[in-house]
Structures are given as C-alpha cells and as structure tokens.
Amino acid sequence: MRFIGKNRTITHFAADMEPIVHVESGATITVETHDCYGGQIDNESILRPDINLDTMNQATGPIFVKGLGKGDVLQIEIKDIELDPYGVMVTSKGLGVLGEQIKEPTTRILPVNEGQVWFKEGFVFPVRPMIGVIGVAPASGRIHCAVPGEHGGNLDTKDITIGRKVYFPVFQDGGLIALGDLHASMGDGELDGTGVEIGGRTTLTVRTVKGRTLEAPVVETADSFLFLASAKTLDEAIRKGSERVVGHLEQELSLEFQEAYRLLSMLCDVRISQIVNPLVTVRVAVPKELLPRLFMK
C-alpha cells in the first residue's frame, strides 16, 4: 500500500497543478495530512492572530489517477482515518455565528485518544473523524484550499468519513486529488468556525467511473446520496442543490419536473454542512428508497 507523506502539500487547487504521485485506478493509498493550521499551533499560548493564515487548510497531494480522464467521475472510498494524539480549537473575535461576543482569542489543545476527545473533566465525547478538505483540480484557475466548490475543497461535510464513498466530477486528466483538514469532531454548521482540528492519516481507494458525469461532489452513505452545493448564501446553495437533485431525478428515474420537485419536497432533506467558510456548503440527501444507485441507467 502506497504512503504519501505530509511534506508535499498545496495551498490552492489549481487547474494546472503538477502531481506528486501517479496511482492506478483501484489503488488503495494512505495520505498523511497536517491539521488546518499546518501544525503551527502546538500549545495553548499560540493564538489564532499569531499564525500565518495564508497556508490555512493546506492539502496533501496532488495524486494523479491513471486512466481517469476529463469528464469522467472519480469515486473515492474512505477506508480509514487515523487521528493524531491531540486536536486544536481556537476562538477569536468575529469567528463563527456568535463571534462578536468574543473579547479575547483563546486556544484549547484537546487530547484525542482511545476513541475520545477530552474536552474537560466530565466532558469526554467519542471521536467522529471526518475530512474537511478533499477535492480535485478545478476546470480553470486556482482556488484556495479554504474555499469549497464544484471541485470539492473545504467542504467541511461530516459525512465525508470512514465507510463513505465520495464522487467527484473530473475536470483534468488524472483528477489530481488532494486532501487535508481532518476533524476529530464537528457539528453541522461548524458554528464557532472550527471543528476539533487535527492531523492524521487517511486510507482511501480511488476508482474511475467512465461514461457518466457529475456537476458537483456527491457523498454516498448507507441510506442516502448527498448532493453537495456551495455558494455565497445559504439560500443560493439550497437552490443550487435542489436544482441538481431535481435534474438528476428527472434524468435517472425518467420523471417530469413537477414529479421530481414533489419527491424532493416529500422525501429529501436539505442539510447544512458549514456556514463559516468563504462559501457556505449544504447537502441535499436523497434516500436510496427513492434513488437506489447514483447512476440508474
């Protein structure tokens, strides 16, 4: 099994970025990643205003998948996530939905071991590992790793975790995968602006899906397909996600618009992934009882 160390990272997903490694479709690889601060915060005296934010959310990669071509779909199956022994939670003025109530920045270093996050005595919770940043090269230009979009990036979607499959549109030959920004735990919304930020090692299997296309990432869980959408506002992201789902249902299930629209309202949940990045991200969950497979035809 191939191991890719965290010494090779990107700060932007770029259309023309150079791969650091080539793997076969079907390969299983382990990717080591920094926490979102690049390891700059290793004790509680280091505050958010003290660090360099230009390299925030740096991602390990890019990884070129042989045989994966522009216009294909890339499937990434998350096999395992192994977390470092501690995570970081900063607060800082203006950060998150109640950020104006913060007077002074503070940093907490939280031990993470035995499958638990140790917040303080009496406040110990099971880890819920997830990948914050994961994506492919975009169609054009370069997008900072702190930003989510059709290429993936800083999606901060807690369903991107062990046992799940994530499908990406492929904009450049080889896909050019990069990932980072693990969290030991995070709620939907990422309401104070951060999860339990942590480094670690993710094991994933990459596969090529030929002859099908996608507009934006989709996560497959045990019971649903989650169609992701990112935009400046929640309203716009919800609208985008709804359009993608209705269009997909029309095409894959041979439904008329009004039928697909009713089924969206009756059966599909819109959920918030995060509202604290430069673009917000939502996901529209389509249950498998409606859509048994992502591509039906």
- Where on the chain is the footprint of a second copy (CB under 8 A)? 89, 91, 96-98, 101-102, 106, 108, 117, 119-120, 123, 125-126, 185-196, 234-235, 238-239, 242-243, 246, 257-259, 261-272, 275, 285, 289-290
Tell me whether residue 21 or residue 189 sits nearer to a second copy (CB atom): 189
Nearest distance from C-beta of residue 141 to a second copy, angstroms: 28
Nearest distance from C-beta of residue 115 to a second copy, angstroms: 13
Nearest distance from C-beta of residue 239 to a second copy, angstroms: 5
Spatial distance between the Cα atoms of 29 and 1, rounded to a whole number of angstroms: 6
Tell me whether residue 162 or residue 253 sits nearer to a second copy (CB atom): 253
Nearest distance from C-beta of residue 275 to a second copy, angstroms: 7
CB 181 within 8 A of CB 154: yes
Tell me whether residue 131 or residue 275 sits nearer to a second copy (CB atom): 275
Tell me whether residue 18 or residue 289 sits nearer to a second copy (CB atom): 289
Tell me whether residue 162 or residue 290 sits nearer to a second copy (CB atom): 290
Sign of CA dihedral 18, 20, 22, 26: negative
Nearest distance from C-beta of residue 59 to a second copy, angstroms: 22
Tell me whether residue 19 or residue 193 sits nearer to a second copy (CB atom): 193
The residue to which tokens 């693990």 are assigned: 182
CB 61 within 8 A of CB 176: yes
Nearest distance from C-beta of residue 25 to a second copy, angstroms: 34
Tell me whether residue 28 or residue 295 sits nearer to a second copy (CB atom): 295
Give pairs for 268-271: CB < 8 Å, separation 24+.
Answer: 270/238, 270/241, 270/242, 271/188, 271/226
- Produce one character per residue of 205-234: b if its CB has 16 or more CB atoms within 10 Å, e if not: bbbbbeeeebebbbbbeeebbbbbbbbeee
Q: How far apart are the first and last CA of the chain?
A: 34
Spatial distance between the Cα atoms of 282 and 271, rounded to a whole number of angstroms: 6
The residue to which tokens 């992701």 are assigned: 228
Tell me whether residue 175 or residue 193 sits nearer to a second copy (CB atom): 193
Nearest distance from C-beta of residue 62 to a second copy, angstroms: 30
Nearest distance from C-beta of residue 280 to a second copy, angstroms: 9
